[in-house]
Homo-oligomer: A and B are copies of this chain.
């Protein structure tokens, strides 16, 4: 059994991880930490866990927890993990971090989009945990930078077009619709029911922090610098991301070429489902699951491809991918504990 600690277990991503860990056949949950709820039963904070887990919340003492766990999931508010991580923690355990601190390889880019980096010394060894891309490195990693939600959706939807050299690399636009849970459980007036319900808005236009993360990964795929336009849009639903991705096709590229590019890259990937021709993803079909659904249409009038990529921001966009990383790190079948059918309607 893998001894697991969940640091920051009472946020939405932490809680969704807990949901899957509780039923994971190879996992023994040793610690759930939540500084705001120390001493309280986890199942009192989240009554959906009633009869499932008797654990109490403990303080986020990483040094201590590291000594007793084989792996830590750190699902702390932005940047906090970077301030807590030490060499001795990584000597004692392996860490899968939900935050952004170790996702970008260039600390200058990080500090341009975020704040000062608290532990840049760990950036180099950190492995970007996009499972479908980096399996081999993930296996032996001590530190995983678990990808962001918009980023996983955008990268996976766009990469085959670049890898197969089908599009003008300067023409990529990602318009990414997201449910409200991506904003987390913190108090924020804009996320009150009456403010977010019955509303759609674009936010952080031309400035969202997921932009450089998408660009870096797409640059690796393309083998040349990629710069994109990325627009997140908030829509009134609990979960789910659906991105519409636009790119200009190179001359002579056909629908069959595009289909082949997706098939070549993802044909063997369990958690990626390619839409049947004529159909496109809808966010409801991935809600609650670790799947990414991807489809596309060619707009022959403008010679563009419009790809549609959809995932659950809390699962493949956070907790599910983190667990998929753990499965890879510990030599398990990637699907272990992750292969439920999404309920519908839900």
Q: Does A12 contact B (CB under 8 A)?
A: yes
Given contacts A193-B193, A193-B197, A197-B238, contact A48 B342 (CB under 8 A): yes
Please provide the chain A residues from 208 to 250 with a CB less than 8 Å away from any CB of chain B in the complex. 227-229, 231, 233, 235-240, 242, 244, 246
Please provide the chain A residues from 69 to 118 with a CB less than 8 Å away from any CB of chain B in the complex. none
| Count of chain A residues with a beta carbon within 8 Å of a chain B beta carbon | 91
Q: Does A284 contact B (CB under 8 A)?
A: yes
Bound complex: CA A181 to CA B50 (Å): 25
Q: Does A33 contact B (CB under 8 A)?
A: no
Contacts of A344 in B (CB 8 A): 12, 15-16, 19, 46, 48
Q: Does A191 contact B (CB under 8 A)?
A: yes
Q: Does A346 contact B (CB under 8 A)?
A: yes
Contact with B along A30-44 (1 / 0, CB 8 A): 000000000000001
Q: B345 to A195, Cβ gap below 8 A?
A: yes
Bound complex: CA A301 to CA B51 (Å): 34
Q: Does A194 contact B (CB under 8 A)?
A: yes
Bound complex: CA A192 to CA B235 (Å): 14
Q: B12 to A173, Cβ gap below 8 A?
A: no
Bound complex: CA A276 to CA B47 (Å): 10
Q: B200 to A282, Cβ gap below 8 A?
A: yes
Contacts of A206 in B (CB 8 A): 297-301, 306
Q: A345 to B197, Cβ gap below 8 A?
A: yes
- Closest chain B CB from A186 CB (angstroms): 9
Question: Which of A1-9, A59-67, A125-133, A285-293 sits within the interface?
Answer: A285-293
Q: B306 to A229, Cβ gap below 8 A?
A: yes
Bound complex: CA A291 to CA B43 (Å): 14
- Closest chain B CB from A317 CB (angstroms): 13
Q: B238 to A198, Cβ gap below 8 A?
A: yes
Please provide the chain A residues from 177 to 198 with a CB less than 8 Å away from any CB of chain B in the complex. 177, 179-181, 185, 187-189, 191-198
Q: A192 to B197, Cβ gap below 8 A?
A: no
Given contacts A12-B194, A200-B235, contact A287 B242 (CB under 8 A): no
Contacts of A301 in B (CB 8 A): 206, 227
- Closest chain B CB from A228 CB (angstroms): 7
The 16 sampled A-B contact pairs (Cβ below 8 Å) are A18-B341, A19-B341, A46-B344, A48-B343, A48-B344, A173-B304, A177-B233, A180-B197, A193-B196, A198-B237, A198-B239, A198-B284, A201-B284, A205-B244, A205-B280, A231-B306
Q: Chain A interface (Cβ within 8 Å of chain B)? A: 12, 15-16, 18-19, 22-23, 44, 46-52, 170, 173, 175, 177, 179-181, 185, 187-189, 191-203, 205-207, 227-229, 231, 233, 235-240, 242, 244, 246, 270, 273, 276, 279-289, 291, 293, 297-302, 304, 306, 308, 310, 314, 339-346
> Closest 4 CB pairs between A and B?
A206-B299, A194-B345, A201-B282, A199-B284
